[in-house]
């Protein structure tokens, strides 16, 4: 069943958190000037000169070679709900709020590399804990594709060219601002709604950077207001800082049984919003939708 394993691990952790601490695009300027010379008043006729055969003709640049993918050993680990293997490169633009409008969904186990033509470190499977996996595409280079790595914070995985995964459109994006305690839903780059949120308490702050919606699961306890929970690809920045029952859990996006703590830092890193807002997002968003946590947007979005 959907998130059976996920929900079972969250049940104990979120039960412990029931009293105020839940976990979780250069414009090119074309100078179109009419370079028509003025007609000369007098003078000898000018005859065009044939090009010198010795002058080389400019040619198109050769395409950049695609780095070959090293064979992936069969014994590589498979990325799952537990923390992802180490060695993957850091996201070079973790706070970039440019929408990631396309996702990659594995159709079989696909090797994930640390760079184009680099070293294979793990496999990405079609599902994680029984839930279909879609990862936002963050970069493309030399025929390779970089995706946001699940079960890790601010890390990329590089997929080689070829088969093994398909692309899906991701029209939406969520941006969370830690200082004003605000979540904004964007569609096709335009703000749709904003809501106040509760975020992680000191020492267990909601992780900064780009992540994504991994999937959804039913609420394990009544304190979540009877509304399904979105599990994110992010995990706590300091796993040792969270309560024992939350070890190995992911950051979540969810509602609460009341709205008394909105606008405050009271969770174990989760993003908490109203039940009505959560229901709307559950109805509209698909797995793989990117979510970016920043301190503050330069241009504040409109409020709801």
- The verdict on residue 28 lying in a domain is no
Domain final position from 151, 169, 187: 169
How deeply is 198 buried, as exposed, middle or buried, from its count of CB atoms within 10 A (0-12, 13-18, 19+)?
Answer: buried
Residue 110 and residue 131 in one domain: yes
Longest dimension (CA), the chain: 95
Q: Which two tokens stand for residue 239?
A: 């796993």
Residue 178 and residue 235 in one domain: yes
Residue 55 has pLDDT above 70, yes or no: no
Q: How far is it, in rounded angstroms, from Cα 238 to Cα 226?
A: 29
The answer to whether the CB of 79 falls within 8 A of the CB of 151 is: yes
- The verdict on residue 93 lying in a domain is no
Backbone angles phi and psi of 254, in degrees to 5: -155, 170
Residue 245 has what pLDDT?
Answer: 84
Q: How far is it, in rounded angstroms, from Cα 127 to Cα 133?
A: 5
Please tell me whether residue 173 adopts helix, strand or coil conformation.
strand
Residue 133 and residue 244 in one domain: no
Which residue's structure tokens are 């879609």?
A: 134
Q: List the CATH number of the domain containing 145.
A: 2.30.30
Q: How many CB atoms lie within 10 A of CB 277?
A: 21
The count of domains in the chain is: 2
Find the domain containing 155 and state its range.
Answer: 102-169
Task: Share the mean pLDDT of the chain.
Answer: 85
Residue 246 has what pLDDT?
Answer: 86
Q: List the CATH number of the domain containing 189.
A: 2.40.440.10
- The verdict on residue 187 lying in a domain is yes
The answer to whether the CB of 122 falls within 8 A of the CB of 77 is: yes
Q: Which residue has the higher pLDDT, 33 or 88?
A: 88
Residue 105 has pLDDT above 70, yes or no: yes
Residue 302 has what pLDDT?
Answer: 65
Domain final position from 169, 186, 206: 169
Of 62, 70, 75, the C-alpha closest to 160 is 70
Residue 178 and residue 165 in one domain: no
Q: Which residue has the higher pLDDT, 38 or 146?
A: 146
- 154-166: pLDDT as tens digits: 999 999 998 899 9
- Identify the DSSP state of 240: G
Residue 180 and residue 278 in one domain: yes
């Amino acid at each position: 069943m959907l998130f059976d394993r996920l929900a079972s691990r969250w049940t104990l952790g979120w039960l412990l958190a029931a009293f105020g601490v839940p976990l979780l695009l250069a414009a090119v300027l074309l100078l179109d000037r009419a370079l028509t010379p003025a007609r000369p008043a007098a003078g000898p006729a000018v005859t065009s000169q044939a090009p010198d055969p010795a002058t080389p003709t400019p040619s198109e640049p050769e395409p950049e070679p695609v780095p070959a993918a090293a064979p992936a050993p069969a014994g590589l680990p498979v990325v799952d709900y537990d923390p992802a293997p180490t060695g993957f490169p850091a996201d070079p633009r973790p706070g970039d709020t440019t929408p990631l409008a396309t996702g990659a969904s594995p159709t079989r186990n696909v090797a994930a590399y640390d760079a184009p033509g680099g070293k294979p470190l793990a496999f990405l499977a079609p599902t994680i804990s029984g839930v279909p996996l879609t990862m936002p595409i963050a970069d493309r280079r030399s025929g390779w594709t970089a995706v946001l790595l699940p079960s890790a914070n601010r890390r990329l995985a590089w997929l080689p060219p070829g088969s093994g995964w398909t692309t899906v459109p991701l029209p939406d994006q969520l941006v969370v601002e830690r200082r004003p305690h605000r979540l904004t839903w964007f569609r096709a780059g335009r703000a749709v709604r904003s809501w106040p949120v509760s975020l992680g308490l000191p020492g267990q702050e909601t992780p900064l950077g780009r992540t994504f919606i991994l999937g959804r699961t039913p609420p394990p306890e009544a304190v979540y207001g009877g509304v399904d929970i979105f599990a994110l690809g992010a995990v706590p920045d300091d796993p040792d800082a969270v309560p024992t029952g939350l070890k190995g859990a992911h950051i979540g996006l969810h509602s609460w049984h009341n709205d008394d703590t909105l606008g405050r830092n009271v969770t174990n890193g989760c993003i908490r919003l109203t039940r009505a807002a959560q229901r709307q997002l559950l109805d509209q968003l698909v797995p793989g939708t990117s979510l970016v946590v920043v301190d503050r947007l330069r241009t504040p979005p409109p409020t709801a």
